[in-house]
Amino acid sequence: MKRRKFLRNAGFSGIASFTGLNIVFGANIPEGYEILGLQEPDPFKMFDLDSEMIVLNNKPFNIEAQAHLLDDKITPNSKMFIRNNGLIPKSIHADQWKLEIMGESVKEIKSYTLDELKTKFKSYTYQLTLECGGNGRSEFDPPAKGNQWTVGAVHCAQWTGVRLKDVLEDVGINEDAVYVGYHARDVHLSGDSSKEPISRGVPIRKAYQNETLLAYEMNGAPIPLVHGFPLRLVAGGWPASASGKWIHQLSVRNKEHDGSKMGGMSYRVPKFPVSPGEKVDEGDMKIIESMPVKSLITYPKTGATFKKSKILHIRGHAWAGELEVSKMEYSIDFGATWVSCDLERPLNRLAWQHFKADILFPQKGYYEVWAKATDADGNAQPMLVPGWNPKGYLNNACHRIAVKVV
């Protein structure tokens, strides 16, 4: 890595400055030796990840799955994408954790311990789809800045917690409430404690949906630290940036929340179509809310080889933000014709839906299997990358796998 090369070439005084410590016996370090204290942490061990997960960035950590890793109906922890804007907080003690509800639109500031949240309010469990707004960014041309996600920045885990609306009703909010913004314990990359890496949230109408949770469990256990322990806001169907991790404060606002990464170009798309590469004024951008219809073939893995005499069984998942997927189809002739798949209903609202189909190929050769979902409003996935936007958000083009028939 570039940083390691820099450190090796920096000289002892530079390394000491970097670590903040005097390197005792530093003059004896062999040439080319990499000091253990400066080695990058191993995210696969830190987060107990599947060995095929892909690390896009390590400061902050941003890690994605591959399509075939997401074959489970409920995404296991080891295959869940990780998207961070700051550094993971340290020294978290759940027994001392408090959530404070404040802001212009609360009748009075109120706080709750985790035990109070768990005992005072009824708990709910939902399977909820969370997808990074930039999932698929790597396909945009010209390239958009940011992590170059392919297709694996999505998961559908099982979340347990209390409904945000129940807590807000207990606090008491004013009629002028417009937005609920979150404040978290992650650390800004600069180390400046006065700066928030990210502080987003949801409008009141989303906050009051039954499925919007203040979650303390994921997949039947306490939320792993990297995914927001001990308390996370989970707003399924919207870009995952709305689902803040490590939540310790909520601001009930009488205006659109103005926290970090709420303004400018962050998590926003143009209000109207623009040409690829076109510069767009900030005033012509709108906040992303419900995510678009999308699907993923999770079996087989792209590049698979099959005998012509055998039927190929494909399967995968489809989701559509706030909506339900109404139709799922596949094509083996580059979109010239489409065949219906078997499509299951969601386990609950905002959970992804599972599909499957059997394919018999007409002859030997190279094929691509394309998947296309259509939502309840009749919106279908585009066959190719949709309208370009400056930040590379909302790519919901049809997923495709390569298959060789012999």
Tell me: do 94 and 234 sit in the same domain. Answer: yes
Average pLDDT, the chain: 93
Is residue 316 in some structural domain?
A: yes
Instruction: List the structure tokens of 264.
Output: 């400018």
**CATH number reported for the structural domain that contains residue 176 in this entry:** 3.90.420.10
Mean pLDDT value of segment 325-331: 98
Span 327-344, average pLDDT: 98
For residue 284, give both structure tokens. 């012509």
pLDDT band at 36 (very low <50, low <70, confident <90, very high): low
- The pLDDT, as a whole number, for residue 402 is 98
pTM of this prediction?
Answer: 0.90
Asked which of 250, 269, 287 is the last residue of a domain, the reply is: 287
Q: Within this chain, do residues 233 and 311 fall inside the same structural domain, yes or no?
A: no
- Residue of 26 and 321 predicted with greater confidence: 321
| pLDDT mean over 66-91 | 96
pLDDT one-digit tens code per residue, 95-146? 999 999 999 999 999 999 999 999 999 999 999 999 999 999 999 999 999 9
Asked if 339 and 277 sit in the same domain, the reply is no
266, 391 Cβ separation under 8 angstroms: yes
The answer on pLDDT for 6 being more than 60 is no
Q: Percent of the chain scored above 90 by pLDDT?
A: 88
Asked whether the predicted pLDDT for residue 16 surpasses 70, the reply is no
Q: What is the model's pLDDT at position 37? A: 61
Count up the domains in the chain and report the number: 3
Q: What is the pLDDT of residues 357-381, one digit of tens each?
A: 999 999 999 999 999 999 999 999 9
134, 135, 137, 140: CA torsion to nearest 10 = -120
The pLDDT of residue 305 is 96
Interval 76-104 mean pLDDT: 96
Distance in angstroms between the alpha carbons of the first and the last residue of the chain: 41
Are 281 and 303 members of one domain?
Answer: no
Residue type, 258: D
CA distance 226 to 89: 9
Q: What is the mean pLDDT of residues 4-20?
A: 44
If asked whether residues 132 and 219 sit together in one domain, one would say yes
Q: Identify the CA nearest to 299 among candidates 371, 246, 347.
A: 371
Q: Are residues 25 and 85 in the same domain?
A: no
Tell me how far CA of residue 159 lies from CA of 92, 96, 209, 295, in angstroms.
20, 22, 15, 21
Last residue in a domain, options 226, 260, 287: 287
Instruction: Extract the tokens encoding 228.
Output: 């927001």
pLDDT at 88: 95
Give residue-wise pLDDT tens across range 271-302.
999 999 999 999 999 999 999 999 999 999 99
**Distance (Å, rounded) from C-alpha 384 to C-alpha 72?**
26
| pLDDT, average across residues 233-262 | 98
Residue range(s) defining the domain that contains residue 214: 77-287
* Shared domain check, 166 and 96: yes
Arithmetic mean of pLDDT, 31-55: 84
